[in-house]
Amino acid sequence: MEQTHANYGSTKTMEETLEDDTSMGVLPRAVLRPSSFILLDGEWNFAIDSADKGIQEGWFLGHAYEHRAK
């Protein structure tokens, strides 16, 4: 007669490992990525907004930017 004991260890027995293995029969998932991208290279106009007023004044709609970056 085989006795069963509670497993108080931190590792699993081979039987417990096989019971928890749900990866058997799982199909791979597709990884979807957009096929379009935006190139950000080129010339950029910018201004340092130390007074934090650019959004309130609508600089994104049009502004005379002082600096240029390439």
- Residue 47 has which token pair? 């201004």
pTM: predicted TM-score of the whole model, two decimal places: 0.42
59 assigned to some structural domain: yes
| DSSP 3-state of 68 | strand
Answer whether residue 9 is part of any domain: no
66/10 Cα distance (integer angstroms)? 64
d(CA 45, CA 65): 6
pLDDT in tens, 29-65: 777 777 777 888 899 999 999 999 999 999 999 999 9
Residue 13 lies in a domain: no
Reported as a single tens digit per residue, the pLDDT across 4-36 is 767 677 777 777 666 655 565 677 777 777 777
Domain that holds residue 57: 35-70
Q: Which residues pair with 44 in a beta bridge?
A: 69
